[in-house]
Chains A and B, each alone.
Chain A
Amino acid sequence: MGVTRREFIKTTAAAAAAASIGTTLLPGGVKPLFAENDMEWHKSVCRFCGVGCGVLIGVKNGKVAAIRGDKFNTINKGHLCVKGFYLHKIIYAKTRLTHPMIKKNGKFEKVSWDEALNFVAKKFNEIRKAHGPDALAFYGSGQAETEETYMANKLFKGCIGTNNMEGNPRLCMASAVGGYLTSFGLDEPAGTYEDIEQAEMFMLIGTNTAEAHPIVFERIVRHKMKNPNVKILIIDPRKTPTDQVADLHLFPKPGWDLAILHAMARIIIKEGYADEQFIKDNVVFKDNKKNLTYEQYKQFLEKFTPEYASKVSGVPVEDIVKAARMFGQAKTAMSMWTMGINQRTRGVWANNLITNLHLLTGKIGKPGCDSFSLTGQPNACGGVREGGGLCHLLPAHRVVKNPKHREEVAKVWGVPVSNIQPKPGKHTVAMFEALNKGEIKGIYIMCTNPAQSLPNASKYWKGLKEQFVVVAESFFPTATTKFADVVLPAAFWAEKEGVYGCTERRSQYMPKVLEPMGEARWDAFILRDLGIRMGFKKEFEKYKTAEDIWNEYISLTKGRDLDLSGATYRRLKKERGLRWPVPSEDHPGTYKRYVKGDPIFDELSEEKKKGRWIYFYGKPEGKAVVWARPDKGPEEPTDEEFPFALSTGRVLEHWHTLTMTGTVPELNRAVPKAYVEINPEDAKALGIANKDQVIVETRRGQLKIEARVINRPKKGTLFIPWHWEEWMANILTIDAFDPGSKEPEYKVCAARIRKA
């Protein structure tokens, strides 16, 4: 009896689903009923968030015809979220940009690559000659591959000679970087996803994990279901799908949660949950000006009674006490957070105060314990944080201010050290302000959409309109390409090879399985060719392959905290990624930093470690810092004129500014438009019914949008998903930023709402 192709695919699909949960449907193994001899499968990484899920790309007759979760990938173990489902559709989107274009007389005209690159090179050189290197800038992305960001870094910092090089991780992860650096002395988490299955308690703060990081959420849920004693504490102003597994949810007023974290620390110490030996051995205390003693820190906390924190945050006293005890009583605890913490004018402080709880209780460095920042983009950690794609950084966690770092990088880049300026360039908000003022006259934007994604977005359209703007993108049009003078078609995921580094310090290789659409080219080679045309032939002509670039980059990581020198393409092509430090080709990678098994810890002398099991080697004497930070609220608190706190965020089905998910009809139809969530009590008081058109207004702009009356936002708060250009939430958001991390406060501003 014959079998149809449909039956064949169904059994394959069922077997894959069964394998993803580690089970089999048929005796004898997890293989599908039939061999898939007409589909080539290629191991890769999902293009969306920072979780780093492994995917297998199924190619048939030269096209991507199927996607499956990679069951051998330790992160997602075969599962994907719905966005991963549709990766193939994005490759074939009608909005793919397939040829270079130059705007002539206000209209884009198709041109050759030669004409486009010669034009850009000529304009950039003219600007550089007339106004100096700092009149140029680069704005990149946490979605670009490490190799792509590396080439941009070399071109702008090493050759052109400006540190005006930023990336959109400034808008999402910079406060986490600031938090790790100030608490531990080094960026990125100590632990990994492996801690999830060993944790007794989770504190999810400022994260809608179920929608923004669904695979991490699934691992937490699966773990809790197997271990019903596992506790989940959520601290977030909004009720979200993550709540389905919460044991306790604290709903602070947006931006007022710092006092809660201090109050939890105070209860933890007072009720005897602190690990006094850990504190004695491994921790120092500081406030914004000076070192403190433990006693002085305790004195500082005295202000933060549960009653005080309750008054400030609006959370009931008993819930604050319960939360502290939940954290204190658990043997192991893992905190996770995202934009609700990072996108704040005191995002670094909020990060510090989360880590404080781990340091006070000794819940760090052990299995099941970590303060673990979840990342929003697939290569924000790898390409931008590690690769040095921000205005103060150089590759491999180096900084431009350090002369030794500049020398080391200049040597590898083959450029005079004097080319690399010692002063940091302009951070993102300052960069676009400088564009408005005409101080920056030319900008190259790669793989991102700042005209929509910047806070207070419309303020920055002036500079984009007036200055020379080059946009390298896979999709057209976007809110930013409207302002472009030149658009360059970039190869998309699966059309190029390279490396992504995800949340847990894991670098993973992605193969090229298709030729780029139309005339699209790989971003790294567009930058290489631009560099050559700008006069940097010697510096760029040597890069013939992606591996050439990766090899040069990992040579710069040798001996650094993020040592990737053992993560060669040869290994990465075979393995499901490697977690740094991975100092040699025979090293397995590192599960935990700062403890036994971390090659850097292992190499420390016993004299230095003095018998300690954990040593925060980024800090003097290996001691991490517990910070006594003030409990500042948001930059723009609510008042009589603007009585609502407005927050923005993601929905499961969409991602960022819709350049990708907006091309998938299924996802568009699932969530076709933006809306503002309003609490039923507030809606009733204002006479707003579900689906009414309303006007949401802030001091920066107003938006006509549909109301969704729902018991999700806390009373007095509004929430708008920010993905749509047509309902651009960022014309409302505030561009005030954290003075340390320079990350803007997207997550809270004052607003008012009325029926349209």
Chain B
Amino acid sequence: MAIAGVAILAKKEEIQNVYQRLEQIPEITTYGIHQEQYIVAVVETSPQQDLEKFLKKIQDNDPGILGIFPAYANFEDEVLGESLDELV
């Protein structure tokens, strides 16, 4: 599983629509529109889903998105075999 923090660069005139469309996708949690052109989001994919393929599909299917730029990617459950659902 991957948990990734991404900055999504969108066309200014489309950004509200892009945001609404992203909110409908279960694997994505949105964190607001910033600087009129960025959406901050976290993407969680299951082991069966490829993060890369998933992001590419989102971008390819949404003409309002100009680019998706990862800023953080965590794979520790995969690398270390630890559960992520225990309390810390």
Interface residues of A (CB under 8 A from B): 2-6, 8-10, 12-23, 25, 34, 58, 60-61, 63-69, 71, 78-82, 84-86, 88-89, 92, 210, 214-215, 217-218, 221-222, 225-226, 244-245, 653, 665-667, 669-670
Contact string, B14-34, partner A, CB cutoff 8 A, digits 1/0? 000000000000000101101
Known: A2-B88, A6-B85, A66-B73. A669 touches B29 (CB 8 A): no
In contact, A13 and B66 (Cβ under 8 angstroms): no
Across-interface contacts of A5 in B (CB, < 8 A): 82-86, 88
In contact, A16 and B5 (Cβ under 8 angstroms): yes
In contact, B32 and A25 (Cβ under 8 angstroms): yes
* 47-86 of chain B: CB within 8 A of chain A: 50-53, 55-56, 66-67, 69-76, 79-80, 82-86
Question: Chain A's nearest CB lies how many Å from the CB of B87?
Answer: 4
* In the bound complex, CA of A89 to CA of B74 (Å): 11
Known: A17-B41, A80-B71, A244-B66. A85 touches B80 (CB 8 A): no
| Nearest-neighbor residue (CB-CB) of A665 within chain B | B50
Across-interface contacts of B35 in A (CB, < 8 A): 21-23
* In the bound complex, CA of A18 to CA of B88 (Å): 24
| Nearest-neighbor residue (CB-CB) of B41 within chain A | A17
In contact, A67 and B53 (Cβ under 8 angstroms): no
Known: A5-B88, A25-B31, A670-B56. A60 touches B76 (CB 8 A): yes
* In the bound complex, CA of A342 to CA of B40 (Å): 37
In contact, A79 and B53 (Cβ under 8 angstroms): no
* In the bound complex, CA of A225 to CA of B69 (Å): 16
In contact, A82 and B55 (Cβ under 8 angstroms): yes
Known: A6-B3, A13-B3. A68 touches B72 (CB 8 A): yes
Known: A667-B52, A670-B53. A214 touches B67 (CB 8 A): yes
Across-interface contacts of A65 in B (CB, < 8 A): 74-76, 79-80
- B7 touches which one: A58, A79, A669 (CB < 8 A)? A79
In contact, A63 and B31 (Cβ under 8 angstroms): no
Across-interface contacts of A13 in B (CB, < 8 A): 3-5, 42, 71-74
Known: A6-B3, A82-B70. A669 touches B75 (CB 8 A): no
In contact, A9 and B75 (Cβ under 8 angstroms): no
Question: Chain A's nearest CB lies how many Å from the CB of B10?
Answer: 9
Question: Chain B's nearest CB lies how many Å from the CB of A240?
Answer: 14
Q: Which of B5, B34, B41, B55 has the most CB of A within 10 A?
A: B5
In contact, A66 and B75 (Cβ under 8 angstroms): yes
In contact, A14 and B5 (Cβ under 8 angstroms): yes
In contact, B69 and A14 (Cβ under 8 angstroms): no
* In the bound complex, CA of A86 to CA of B83 (Å): 20
Across-interface contacts of B83 in A (CB, < 8 A): 5
CB-defined A-B contacts under 8 Å, sample of 5 = A5-B84, A9-B3, A13-B73, A80-B71, A89-B75
In contact, A88 and B79 (Cβ under 8 angstroms): yes
* In the bound complex, CA of A88 to CA of B44 (Å): 18
